[in-house]
Structure 1
Amino acid sequence: MPRADRLFDILTLLRDGELHTAKALAERLGVSQRTLYRDMEKLVASGVPLSGTRGTGYRLSPAITLPPLTLTPSEMEALDLGLAIAAEVADPEMRAAANSLADKLDAVLPQTAVAQADAWKFAASPFADAARGFAQMPTLRAAIKARQKLRITYTSKDGDVTSRIIRPLHLEYWNRIWTLIAWCELRHAHRVFRLDLINTAEALPELFTDEAGKTLADYVP
């Protein structure tokens, strides 16, 4: 069972407010107690209001709980944008709440990233310049749908700014970071661009068609 699914099952079992021993929870989930302890530490680190310790058992402290929800990619974008805005306001309590909520979502979201996704995590707040990244989303989506070339200005992680003409192919969500897979005419290769590092995106009148080696199917992470 994927860890994200198991974490959700743990919360479901604890929702009754009763005390559950680690042994009983591990048996219900079909995992070792060692694995169960690691899962509980992950939930606590994510801000889930748990009380209890190893040897005594665990219970979910009173808190607002929501039933299982199924979110569309657009709804997830809207939620991310709201968190991004809340995380950058002046109120420290609101910023802390936004980051705590983001951690809780990360604990239960399905893993959609490839194994190398950790390489995309960056030291600054994951919400840094998030609003700027989301601002490019309509242009990028429209260009992907219309198969229309784009001219973008992009700031690399090292701070270098370049102007590129690209063929936008696919938007992807990597652990709270949105990226764009594209064929880059400057590098003559597939490239993955972080949306929060795209400064501008301009739709060009030129359309593109599939060419061998330049399609999404040809992309190798």
Structure 2
Amino acid sequence: MRRTDRLFEIIQIIRDGRLHKATDIAEVLEVSVRTIYRDIETLIGSGIPIEGERGVGYILRAPIFLPPVSLTEVELEALHLGAALVQRSADPELQRAARRLVEKVDQVMPEARKPPAEGWGMAIFGVDSLQASFAHMPVVRAAIREKQVLEIDYARADGQTSRRFIRPLQMEYWGQVWTCTAWCETRDDFRVFRIDRMRGVLDAGRSFIDEPGKRLRDYVLREGFEEDQEKGEV
């Protein structure tokens, strides 16, 4: 979590007017207590009316008003629909993030833009088959973000299993399955892997850099893209 996001989360936690211990905040945000102490000092230094001390706890004595969010009704519908899709089609970490996102937006919306009591008139069904992908999605997402090589045991459609070392570049959602486009070091070429067919996913313990010919944009722009799709591991 970026520090700016963490500072925002701390304000969200303590804005209820109750006393919060640094240890409790640290546990929620999954950081050290020392980090929370530094963040609290930063918030106080920027003028946020936080009172308290180390070992006792912190409390926000005055209300904090966040900048207004100007969204149209259709934009709010799109946001809630997107969040609902994430909550049904992504791993638990992203599901929680989607819930927090809509909660934060709804909190700062004027009454005229609050969610209708009966909902937004949309529902999501038919994505239960994605559950098999959820176990490995957090590791794959982190590897894409941090440019980490992954070691995977992969089962093809014919049942054959192989071990690969891949540079994950992007995840794709196809409605019923999640895939990962990657540079496969084992095959020395681009490949597309279904995440639900990954039998094991491990951090290989080394990072990679973007090399010409091995980047996502190289895959997208490469001559004969449709043919490349056919050569994938899907």
Q: TM-score, normalised by structure 2?
A: 0.44
Bigger RCO (CA 8 Å, 6+ sep):
1
Greater radius of gyration (CA): 2
Q: TM-score, normalised by structure 1?
A: 0.46
